[in-house]
Every structure is written in structure tokens, then in C-alpha cells.
Amino acid sequence: MATFRKLPSGKWQAQVARKGVRRSASFDTKRSAQDWAARQEYLALNQSADTDKSTLADLFDRYARDESPKRRGARWEVIRLSRLARDPLGQVRVSEVGPSDLAAWRDRRMAEVSAGSVRRELALLSAVFNVACREWRVLDQNPVSEIRKPPPTPPRDRRVSDDEIELLVAAGGGDLQSKTGRAVHAFLFAIETAMRAGEIARLTDADVDRTARVAHLALTKNGSARDVPLSRRAIDLIDALPAQKAGRALFGLSSAQIDVLFRKARDKAAIADLTFHDSRHEAITRLSRKLDVLSLARSVGHKDVRMLMVYYNESAQDLAQRLD
């Protein structure tokens, strides 16, 4: 059914809605709006059979093919969209999808993974449906907005002790010619700088100004460049690395290799419940003793200083020692 209304600008807006598909456009005259609406209704009627056959798996495949490559997390998106397409959710027709389908998927997924993982996958689903609504015009509304999301998991507050650092170095062998040794070395560097594994993996000699003691990161998680101040200890850790060919990454490891090899050393050292990203908690807590809040936020790349509280994990006992 088509509806028409005159806009304050004097133009006429036509809206056509049929089988969950809504389209609108503005024209100089009402007659033009009526002609467009009639054409859209004709197309909707004659294409409805094909549209009704489309499933969410088709939608996920289109998004993975056309939209994901535009994003930094393309590989992550494609893998998860492929899994979603194989889920019973993928067999739901686009024209029939509703909040109950998403709620059923959420409950199934909650039995398999953490609430944090489900929230991230719901965010991806929401992005798919938003594009389907606003650009592809195959949906009238985003069904994700109609369901309850799992509550966010509490942030980690894991600190790294000096004893654990010694155990990791021993487990890594201390040989920087080995990949495992460099993965542990990257963890030590992360504690000193609060840099993420991906940022460390991309760091080259050209990115480091040893005189100014600054590392330039052209690409960070939030998409903008950042300059990281380096302590003398951080410079020493860089200088201890084996020489690499010009243009090659200083640590000679990918982000995935750092993660896998770090976990291997952690397990060998029999250290429980420690992740590479815990180094960021440790680093920010240590740096908070040296830098004011704004300087710390700039150093670690937080545009919102409230994010520092997620990573600042100093204990009340430690704070009591600083009162005297």
C-alpha cells in the first residue's frame, strides 16, 4: 500500500510497504510520486516469489561478500557469518524473520559460549540487519533491537606478579632467536607499554624513534594513529631483539603467533588464568603511578578516560601503601 505526504520543503514523499519491505522517495510533484509508487508496487508483486525464497543464510553471505571486506575485522566477521548461516537461524526466510527467531538463537548460543561472545555476535547480526533495512531495503526493521541482550560480563582484574613473569621467561627459554622466546618478550614489552598484541606485531624499526623514545602506531584498534611513549626499559627490550631485515616487524611474529606461543609458554609455566591481554591491565595500573589521567589516556589510546577504570586494577592494599 502506498501513502503520500507533502514535506515542508514542498516536495511529495511516497512510501510503499509490502511484505515487510518498505521504500520511500521524494519528488517535485505528487503525480511523479504516484507514478513511482505504482512502479514499486508492481515490482514488489512480481518479485515477491523470489524474495520469499531468500533466507538469512543468503543475507549473511551477501553481507560477508559485499560489506565485510570494507571492515578491519573482515576475517572475524566472515567466520562468524558462515557459522550463523549453518545455524537453524540461517534457514529462516528473510520475509518471515522476527524477534522470536533471534531470541531462540541467543538462547542456543548462550549454552555454547560466554555472554560476551553472544553480545559481540548480536552486534554483528544487528549490523547485517541495519544494512538490510537501510540500504538493501529487504527488511522493514531490525529484529535484534526487539530482544534482550545478555548482561555484559564484568571486566577482568587480573594482575601479573613478578614471580609469574620469571616463570614465563624460564618457560620461554629466554632465547630470542626462538619464536616462543620472542612471544614472551612481547608480553614483557606489552607490560611496559600497554600496547596490544596486534600493535606489537606490526611494529617495525622505522616506527621507533629511539632518541625521542616514541613508537608510532599507524594503525590501532580504534582506527586512528597513536604515538606511544617508551620507557628506557622498553627501549632495552627492543634493542635485545635479533636484527630483522629492513621493513620487517621487530618481533618477527604475527598477532596470532604471539597469542598461540604465549599460551604455550604460560601452560608450560603452569600459570592459571592468564591471557596476553592481561598485560594491558598490568601496564595501565603501573603507568597510573607515573602519569596523570589525561596523559595516561593519551598514552594507551583511550579517547574516553572512563575506559581506564576497566584496566586500572590496583588493590586497596597497594593504595594504602601509597598513603604514607
Query: Which positions are annotated as active-site residues?
Result: 196, 221, 302, 311
Find cell 511516497 and name the residue: 14
Spatial distance between the Cα atoms of 229 and 164, rounded to a whole number of angstroms: 25
C-alpha cell belonging to residue 246: 629492513
Phi, psi of 165 (to 5 degrees): -65, -40
- Beta strand 226-229 with 21-27 is unpaired
* Helices 99-110 and 115-134, packing angle to 10 deg: 160
- Beta strand 12-18 with 2-6 is antiparallel
C-alpha cell belonging to residue 209: 624513534
Alpha-carbon distances, residue 209 vs 144, 189, 204, 274, 277 (angstroms) = 47, 16, 11, 31, 25
Which strand (E) or helix (H) includes residue 226? strand 226-229
C-alpha cell belonging to residue 220: 590501532
